[in-house]
Every structure is written in C-alpha cells, then in structure tokens.
Amino acid sequence: MSSGRTTAIAGSLLTASFSAVMILSFTASADDQGPGSSKGGKAVDAAPTGVKLTTQLPESISVDNSSKETALTATVKNEGSKDSGDIRLLVVGFDGMTVKNVQGCSEIAEGDLPEGSNSGFSCAVGNLAAGKSKSYDVDATFDLGKTGKICLPVQTADGSKTFWQQGPVPFGTTNPAPNAPATPLLLGTDNKPVAPGGDKLPKTGPAREMLPLGAVGAALLSAGAAGMWWSQRRPQQPQG
C-alpha cells in the first residue's frame, strides 16, 4: 500500500472518530447533569417520627434542539433515622416538558393527572431504609418554544398523604441557542422561549408573565395546596 493511500485512510479514520466524538458530546444523557438539588422542594404532610423524605433533580439538563429529547435522574432520599414505610414517587411534567418514560414506573392515567399537567408516572418505591436513596431514569421531551416544569411528590403508597413535593419547578435558559446542537437548561430558571423561525426572543408582557399561574393553576403553586390536591385526587392503584 502506498504511503499516500495510507495517509488518506488514516485521515478518513481520524475525521470519522472526531465526528463520532462530536455527536456523542451533544447527545442528551442523564450521565452529565452535575450534582442533585432539592430546589423548589417543601415538606407538606408530617412524616412519621424519624423519617425525613426529600427529592433531588439535576441542576442542569441538556435538550437536543432537533428531537427535543432530554434525560434526567429523579432521586428520592430518606435522610431520617428510621425506615420510611411503603411510599411512592410521582414524576409529573407541565407545560413544555413532557415525561415520556420513567424506568420501572407506571404511567398515570390522563384522568388522574393534576390540572395543568401533561404527563406523569408513579413509582412504587416501597420501604426506603434510613439514610438510603433510590434513583429513577427519566426520559422526556422539552419544547424550547415554551416554558417547562417538573414536579416530584413523595407520598404514602395509597396517596393519602404527601410528605414532600419538589415543584412544579422549572428548567430553562435565559440565553437560548437555537442554532446549536443542544441547549443546556438550568433547574429553577424560567425558560425564555425562542421566537419561531429565529434566534430572537419573543416580546414579553403581562400575559406571558402570568403563564405559569394560568398553566399550572394556583393550587399547584403552593406546595401545601398541592399536597391537598394530591390527597383528594390520587391516581388509582393498579389492579394486582
């Protein structure tokens, strides 16, 4: 084989390898989210003595600008000194964020979803030992032309009590990058949607500023009120 042909082949392989690295670097993944955060979380109903339940979401996620797909990890923790008893975790999407799948969990029927939400899954955590945690891989889509929120209530297995609720808390960016392969979003940041067909931000006004209240509903803006909602209208248990 001539040295010229060898050089050409080597160059092609190098280009292919570089392209593969570039593609992988922009693929939405739950492995590149940074540390977890309980931002937007609050205790609702009193937990049993010695039990302290919380949740965590990643501080940042990445949304593929073409497919709108993203992935994240939702974690429930027992930071207390006693076992939790039988509990469940709900993962619910609002507005531009739609939860497509949660590994090992059951989809909540449309009629049992909270007002303003578009999707949700119920995860049977079971008895969570003191000092332990359990994480779930979440697949979702995020419409960057809208705001988007996620909510993580932790309840008794029958949904009669909500011990903790994180959210609905937003993911978003104030610096959209519609021409990039992916857009990073930060937890606790209201998304500034990109105007259709361009990279300029749409005009904002009173109507847009009121979007979270109109879309989610006042009952879900307060963790306490949300806990009451979940207690009164809990998803039906799957038939065993």
> What's the confidence (pLDDT) of residue 195?
62
Going 33 to 39 to 45 to 48, the CA torsion angle's sign is: positive
Instruction: Note whether 176 and 194 are within 8 A (CB).
Output: yes
The per-residue b/e assignment along 33-65, b for 16 or more CB within 10 angstroms, e otherwise, is beebbbebbebbbebeeebbbbbbbbebbbbbb
How far apart, in whole angstroms, are the C-alpha atoms of residue 94 and residue 100? 12
* pLDDT tier, 197 (very low <50, low <70, confident <90, very high otherwise): low
At 72, list the tokens.
């994240």
Among 143-147, 195-199, 205-209, 219-223, name the one with the lowest average pLDDT.
205-209
> What's the confidence (pLDDT) of residue 141?
98
Task: Kindly report the average pLDDT of the chain as a whole number.
Answer: 78
Among 3-12, 90-99, 102-111, 141-150, name the one with the lowest average pLDDT.
3-12
